[in-house]
Amino acid sequence: MIFVKEAKMSTKSIWAGEKEQLAFGATQVPVVHSVSFGYDDMDEWYDVAVGAKPGHIYGRNTNPTVQAFEDKIRILEGAEAATSFSTGMAAISNTLSTYLFPGDRVVSIKDTYGGTNKIFTEFLPKQQVEVVLCETGDHELIEEEIAKGCKVLYLESPTNPTVKITDIKRMAEAGKTAGALVIVDNTFATPVNQNPLELGADLVIHSATKFLGGHADALGGAVCGRKELIEPIYHYREINGATLDPMAAYLLLRGMKTLKLRVDQQNKNAAAIAEYLKSFDEVEAVFYPGLPEHPHHQTAKEQMRGFGGMLSFSVKGGVAGVRDLLPKLNYANRAANLGSVETVVGPSRTTSHVECTPEERAAMGIPEGLIRYSAGIEDIEDLKADLAQAFQSMKTYVNP
């Protein structure tokens, strides 16, 4: 579909990657559950099997429904190629495993998602990969560590859950100078708000489970970039088997049709909620890159088209305050998810960093009283009123 390349984001979200997979006059991409794909012509079968001709041979490798999802996210990110995974963590772990070997050195930031942090602190060191985690936002320190030697530079911006921002363009330039592969997790921003490849990144990763799907009903992940970089990742995935299920791919495709509409509304709601939370005495701090007082606001303003639907805030009383407040909310799911049409809330100790100890969370600057707030697409006045009644009935806490 040639016109999609120059189309706007909302049009791409609907049309990109789908026409090539339609069949029988259908206007929607079918869910192809077949595990295998048959050929009467042995030569054609061979050509498809070795990649000389387009087609499919086995579901662990490729699938028409999955391909439509891959094509859509590839186009939304402005990438040459993309491959998909069963989950977002599969996308992250498979990509790192493809490009990191014993003796290599990876530089990243302390504020990555908890699962990613565990790969850096627990799994990669066991494989004799040197891991250096820098303070997020300390660009000079990150540049110094990159210059010492770096096979992979891994960034996440905005971060989960403290929504810190990294200057992707500046870090990508430093990474390229050192010969590093620059990878950016773009889950929180989505292609609507940010395109890391345009800022110099080599690969962009998504947990498609979150904003891309947008309805909390399908797990998935994706990596986008240049063809020569994606092919080894795809090969690692097809052999190791973290394949995206066709039904999940269909649900993600359906959700992505409204991506621009949803994210635009979530941007607005999150900005309004972040400002509103500042008015409550029970709130110690609010973290949202759209707030002028956010330490990385200017960087976010320069590299993002919107500040995102994610924010976090800390309440007085720590864990006790969290236990008191969250059950009182009516228009919020208390769950370990984000990016859905419904507002979703939860403390990092049971969501993003449940795998970490309190000491590990503290080292990453995540207080036990921190609440992650994923703004949905509800009416903003209803969300505000819901917060107001919850805070009004909250006990009084005094921190030491």
Reduced to 3 states (helix: H, G, I; strand: E, B; else coil), residue 186 is coil
Among 185, 202, 245, 264, the one annotated catalytic: 185
Q: Using an 8 Å Cβ cutoff, are 20 and 4 in contact? A: no
Among 99, 113, 234, 288, the one annotated catalytic: 113
DSSP secondary-structure letter at 226?
Answer: -
**Residue 185 annotated in active site:** yes
**Residue 210 annotated in active site:** yes
- Rounded Cα distance, 248 and 123, in Å: 28
Among 74, 210, 349, 372, the one annotated catalytic: 210
DSSP secondary-structure letter at 335?
Answer: S
- Residue 183: its H or E element: strand 181-185
Using DSSP bridges, classify how beta strands 370-374 and 344-347 pair: parallel, antiparallel or unpaired.
antiparallel
Q: Euclidean distance between the first and final Cα of the chain, in Å?
A: 61
**Residue 60 annotated in active site:** yes
What would the 3-class secondary structure string for 112-173 be? CCHHHHHHHHHHHHHCCCEEEEECCCCHHHHHHHHHCCCCEEEEECCCCCCCCCCCHHHHHH
Alpha carbons within 13 A on the beta-carbon side of 235: 10
Reduced to 3 states (helix: H, G, I; strand: E, B; else coil), residue 206 is strand
Structure tokens given for 331: 């228009």
Active site residues: 60, 113, 185, 210
